[in-house]
């Protein structure tokens, strides 16, 4: 049987899709384009209403253009009633796809996480320079705007460290040059007392020419692992902060476990390690209790810690969360705030590049003719001419050799 997997959403979804493909390959099925497939699997996202809309839109699109059996799975299945695709599978069932592949209807255990684990590794690493290593599933924080605990469960499932190390070693042997540590909330990783910092330390001791980048993390838990960046040269000097707001009032209303002072403390700590240490960040614009002054506090905090990139998106009420019952801010106002932060992001990235006029190490991820492109350790993208380098090489670029790439 020919199959195609289409993935929306987070790095963890991408990781699980790779696992699904591996399961199907082992069973003798063959990966194919959507037009030629007998089976199309949509691994959906529902972190926002827009993400869910896009997931359903893609499923309907495939249903229109193909005669393939449509399997709709992922977080959107746990969010609400899903229309009648051939087969609808919950997050707990999708990793056992072979048990259900010949069935129809909806099969979804919303309490799957109580008996779920993450004691598996992706054996077949995709042919690319960057690989995602997912080490944790679940979140029990209960932020007032977030439905992820409902989709992924409040029981924290951490991958055994031996499995983590084995998987990372396979990645390095296969040619992966950047290992991205991901999960639903990697700060909660705990394998019998062994925490995220120790896990990163052990991965960094693996032989090979590679670097480690961590996925999204909050400022308090980022401070706890600062020592790893100081002691291990394989750690990229970049953190993607799960910030959401720079206003202490809004952070409290969101149920976030940190305040703006923690963010400043993190920036100061990391810049003691490396004065060019880079931060990108997520920010929700237009949370129901965010007034103009709160928004301006967020803007000022982003400027103060000199982030180099902002992922700004409008607040999206999620059914079943505390924030969904609050009066929403006007959509045009949310859009205005998003646009302000996107413009600020461009300014701050430009400023970051101006400061980093020194030799940088770039991982070549794409090449067309003599033109190479890739990201630095600081997660800035550069394009440069180099007839000798190939995809997967680390190249040191001197000032003036590269074209800055803001995208």
Beta-bridge partner residues of 304: none
Residue-level pLDDT at 406: 46
| CA–CA separation, 328 and 340 (whole Å) | 19
CA-to-CA dists, residue 41 to 15, 72, 172, angstroms: 14, 6, 29
Q: Which residue intervals of 232-276 are DSSP H helices?
A: 248-254, 260-273
Residue-level pLDDT at 405: 59
HSE, CB side, 13 Å, CA atoms: give it for residue 187.
Answer: 18
- What's the token pair of residue 149? 């605990």
Mean pLDDT of 279-308: 98
Residue 38 is given by DSSP the state S
**50 closest CA partner among 341, 338, 406:** 338
- What's the token pair of residue 319? 């059914």
| CA–CA separation, 93 and 77 (whole Å) | 11
CA-to-CA dists, residue 221 to 216, 225, 247, 283, angstroms: 11, 7, 19, 18
pLDDT tens string 324-381: 999 999 999 999 999 999 999 999 999 999 998 888 999 999 999 999 999 999 999 9
**Averaged pLDDT of the chain:** 93
First to last CA, the chain: 39
pLDDT tens string 106-124: 999 988 888 888 888 887 6
Mean pLDDT of 67-73: 95
**243 closest CA partner among 285, 275, 291:** 285
Q: Model-level pTM?
A: 0.90
Residue-level pLDDT at 291: 98
The b-or-e profile of 51-68 (16+ CB within 10 A means b, else e) is bbebbbebbeebbeebeb
Q: How confident is the model at residue 248 (pLDDT cuts 50, 70, 90)?
A: very high
pLDDT tens string 209-231: 999 999 899 999 999 999 999 99
HSE, CB side, 13 Å, CA atoms: give it for residue 97.
Answer: 30
pLDDT tens string 141-181: 999 999 999 999 999 999 999 999 999 999 999 999 999 99
Q: Does the structure show a pLDDT above 80 at 400? A: no
């Amino acid at each position: 049987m020919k199959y195609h997997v289409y993935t929306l959403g987070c790095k963890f979804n991408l990781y699980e899709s790779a696992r699904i493909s591996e399961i199907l390959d082992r069973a003798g099925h063959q990966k194919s384009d959507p037009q030629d497939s007998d089976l199309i699997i949509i691994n959906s996202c529902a972190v926002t209403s827009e993400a869910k809309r896009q997931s359903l839109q893609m499923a309907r699109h495939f249903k229109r253009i193909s005669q393939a059996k449509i399997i709709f799975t992922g977080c959107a299945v746990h969010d609400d009633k899903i229309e009648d695709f051939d087969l609808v599978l919950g997050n707990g069932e999708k990793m056992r796809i072979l048990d259900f592949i010949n069935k129809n209807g909806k099969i979804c255990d919303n309490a799957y996480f109580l008996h779920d684990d993450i004691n598996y590794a992706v054996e077949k690493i995709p042919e690319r320079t960057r690989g995602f290593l997912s080490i944790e599933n679940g979140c029990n924080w209960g932020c007032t705007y977030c439905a992820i605990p409902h989709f992924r469960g409040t029981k924290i499932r951490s991958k055994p460290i031996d499995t983590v190390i084995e998987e990372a070693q396979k990645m390095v042997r296969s040619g992966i040059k950047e290992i991205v540590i991901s999960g639903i909330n990697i700060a909660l990783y705990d394998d019998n007392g062994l925490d995220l910092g120790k896990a990163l330390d052990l991965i960094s001791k693996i032989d090979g020419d590679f670097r480690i980048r961590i996925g999204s993390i909050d400022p308090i838990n980022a401070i706890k692992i600062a020592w790893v960046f100081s002691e291990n040269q394989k750690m990229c000097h970049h953190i993607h902060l799960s910030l959401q707001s720079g206003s202490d009032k809004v952070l409290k209303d969101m149920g976030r476990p940190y305040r703006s002072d923690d963010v400043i403390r993190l920036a100061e700590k990391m810049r003691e390690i490396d004065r060019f240490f880079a931060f990108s960040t997520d920010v929700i614009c237009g949370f129901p209790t965010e007034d103009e002054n709160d928004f301006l506090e967020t803007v000022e905090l982003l400027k103060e810690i000199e982030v180099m990139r902002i992922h700004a998106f409008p607040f999206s009420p999620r059914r079943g969360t505390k924030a969904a019952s609050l009066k929403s801010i006007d959509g045009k106002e949310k859009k205005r705030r998003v646009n302000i932060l996107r413009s600020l992001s461009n300014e701050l990235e430009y400023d970051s590049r101006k400061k980093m006029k020194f030799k940088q190490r770039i991982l070549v991820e794409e090449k067309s003719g003599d033109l190479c492109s890739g990201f630095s350790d600081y997660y800035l993208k550069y394009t440069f001419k180099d007839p000798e380098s190939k995809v997967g090489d680390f190249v040191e670029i001197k000032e003036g050799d590269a074209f800055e790439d803001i995208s």
